[in-house]
Every structure is written in C-alpha cells, then in structure tokens.
C-alpha cells in the first residue's frame, strides 16, 4: 500500500467514524486545510519530474475529491440523524385542541351605536355622517340658534383658533350631530329618513357629563309626517333597544330652537333595589328630546317648508348605554382599564333588531 492509499484509508475511515460535525471539521482541516496532509502533498508536486508530477497530481486530485465527497455525505447524514432525534424528542400531537386565545370585546359605546343603527335601519333610516369640526353656520345658524343662545358662548362650546384679522366666525367642535342633518337635506332633498350618530363636544365634565360624548340624532321628512309618526318611531325604538315587549312614553312640552313644537320624552320605569326596569313602575326617566322640525331649519337645508314637514329627535348614546347596561359613571367610558372593558364589553354582531331577538 503506497502513501496515498494510506491517506485514503485513514481519512475515509475517520470520516465514517465521526460522531458529530466538530469531529468532521477536524478531519477536513487535517486533510484539506492549508496545512493538511493532502495540501502539503500537492505542494511537493513542484519538486517532481514532469512524468511523476502528472501521475501523482492526478492521484492526489482523485483522493481530494473522494475525501470531499465523503465529508459532504457524512455531514448530511449527521444532519438527518440530528433532525430524526429532534423529531423523536419534540413530537406534536396534532389531534390536541388549540390553545385558547383571549378574545377582544367591543366597547359599550360602539356596541350601542351599532344597536341603534341596526334598529333604525329596520325602520328604513339611512346613516349620515359629517365633519366633527363645523362652521358656525352649520352648527348654529342653519339650526335656528340665535346669537344670544347660551350654546354660542365660550363657556359652553369649543371654538377653533382663527387669525384675529379674519372677520369670519371661528369654526367649532360640533356641539351636536344636527349639522349632519342639514348636510343630508342639502345632498338628498325630500323625502328623507336619516340618523346621524357620532362624537360631539361640549365644555362639561361631571359624573354624568363629559367634554366628548356620543349622540344620535334622526329626522324623517315627508308631506304628511306628524307627531304621531314620531311617537310610533320612538316607541318601536325603545322596545327594541331595551328589549321589552311594551313601553310607555310621556311627551313634555319643551323648547328647542330647531323644532316647533318641541318635547322632552320620558319613559316609564321602576327602580327596585337600585335596578332600573324599563316599561313598568310609577317613575319616569327622561331619555331624549324631539319635536317637529322648525320651518327655518327645513329652508336652511334647501327644502320648501310649505310642501314638506318632518320630525327630529336626539339622544345621548352614552346615556342610553348607561341605562341599559347599568354603567354608573359616564367617566368610566374613558378612564377605565381592561378589567372594566372585559366586564362591560360585548362579543361582535350581538345586535337587537326592531323585529325582536338578536341578529347574528
């Protein structure tokens, strides 16, 4: 056996016996590294005759290729063995049920806004939206709110900054969603039925008020719309929203600049052990304001009040959410943590309808 055969037997045998990649790397360096035995043999070719160089060089190249192939094959075999061992140790039973993941919940304000929208949609009302920063005209003038009205004073409304040299009235953060009704009348004309849910802003803050809260206002305009239509609409809404078979509403004469006549609406209820029950008892609870639309408001929306008439109403979404779900403090909507939301939150698509039951 010549020297090359001995090297071949030595390294191929070592490769076959290598137990891990570290041992395999040591063999590679010993054979094929810069100072490896085969590399040193390749350097000796320059000292040989042309005939010897040709014969020995070819043999060394064959040996180098065989060792390199053996190294690659052994490395692949070690990797396969390691993977097999890992799979055996880390097997997974795919028939096991999945790990439960915490589900998110819907905020009560979003839930109630969806409920209100679904109920009025069943009665044929569209949903209208508008900007939260409004012009003085849309927020006040178009709604027949005179300059001396308290709502137009700085202590009740958030006014936007305007250049002192600009004579125009400043824009405001809308104090109600009624401006959306004006925009809807301008865009669609009459007849029309819309609700306008959304955020509104007033400079107020206590247990039952917040500087930012949510309202839904609605209107229906037709040639023969009357207070009777308004009463039926609100009764059907309250039955569906509070999920009771019967309600009794009381209309008290009031004054709003944008309706004439105007009425505060109370609902019959009872308080037993601190628990509110709608539709029964000897107590009354105010829930919204309403009335027949003022002719000047119709005209501001581009509708002829001599041909058309309509009713309008408005209620606080936060307030009716508190009443229905027993939330004691309005500030909790904005200041509470995830524990509060977990208690009062809702699963998606849990919406009552005017036809009764829940829609899924």
Known binding residues:
260
3-state SS, residue 315: strand
Report DSSP state, residue 162: -
CA 280/CA 237 separation, integer angstroms:
17
CA 205/CA 107 separation, integer angstroms:
21
For residue 85, give both structure tokens: 């061992």
CA 352/CA 360 separation, integer angstroms:
9
| 257 neighbors 343 (Cβ within 8 angstroms) | no
Binding site members for Mg(2+): 260
For residue 324, give both structure tokens: 């229905």
Q: Where are the alpha helices (DSSP H) in 36-49?
A: 37-43
| 212 neighbors 201 (Cβ within 8 angstroms) | yes
For residue 293, give both structure tokens: 């639309």
Q: Tell which residue, 146, 188, 74, 106, has the closest CA to residue 294.
A: 146
Residues across the chain: 360
Q: Where are the alpha helices (DSSP H) in 162-226?
A: 178-188
| 158 neighbors 201 (Cβ within 8 angstroms) | yes
CA 125/CA 123 separation, integer angstroms:
6
């Amino acid at each position: 056996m010549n020297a090359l055969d001995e090297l071949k037997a030595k390294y191929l045998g070592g490769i076959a016996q290598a137990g891990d990649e570290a041992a395999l790397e040591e063999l590679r360096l010993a054979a094929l590294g810069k100072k490896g035995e085969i590399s040193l043999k390749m350097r000796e070719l320059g000292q040989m005759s042309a005939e010897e160089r040709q014969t020995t060089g070819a043999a060394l190249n064959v040996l180098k290729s065989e060792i390199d192939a053996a190294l690659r094959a052994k490395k692949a075999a070690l990797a396969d063995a390691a993977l097999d061992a890992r799979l055996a140790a880390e097997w997974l039973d795919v028939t096991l049920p999945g790990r439960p993941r915490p589900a998110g919940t819907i905020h009560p304000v979003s839930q109630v806004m969806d409920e209100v929208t679904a109920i009025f949609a069943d009665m044929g009302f569209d949903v209208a939206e508008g900007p939260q920063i409004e012009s003085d005209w849309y927020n006040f003038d178009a709604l027949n709110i005179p300059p001396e009205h308290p709502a137009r004073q700085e202590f009740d409304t958030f006014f936007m900054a305007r250049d002192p040299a600009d004579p125009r009235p400043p824009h405001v953060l809308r104090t109600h969603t009624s401006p959306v009704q004006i925009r809807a009348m301008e865009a669609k004309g009459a007849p029309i039925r819309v609700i306008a849910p959304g955020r509104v802003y007033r400079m107020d803050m206590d247990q039952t008020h917040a500087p930012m809260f949510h309202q839904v206002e609605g209107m229906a305009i037709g040639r023969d719309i009357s207070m009777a239509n308004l009463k039926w609409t609100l009764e059907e809404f309250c039955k569906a929203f509070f999920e009771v078979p019967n309600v009794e509403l009381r209309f008290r004469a009031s004054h709003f600049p944008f309706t004439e006549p105007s009425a505060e609406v109370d609902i019959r209820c009872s308080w037993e052990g601190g628990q509110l029950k709608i539709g029964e008892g000897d107590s009354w609870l105010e829930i919204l304001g309403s009335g027949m639309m003022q002719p000047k408001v119709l005209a501001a929306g581009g509708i002829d009040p001599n041909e058309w008439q309509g009713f309008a109403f408005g209620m606080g979404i936060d307030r009716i959410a508190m009443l229905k779900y027993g939330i004691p403090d309005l500030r909790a909507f904005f200041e509470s943590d995830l524990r509060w939301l977990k208690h009062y939150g809702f699963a998606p698509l849990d919406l009552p309808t005017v036809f009764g039951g829940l829609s899924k």
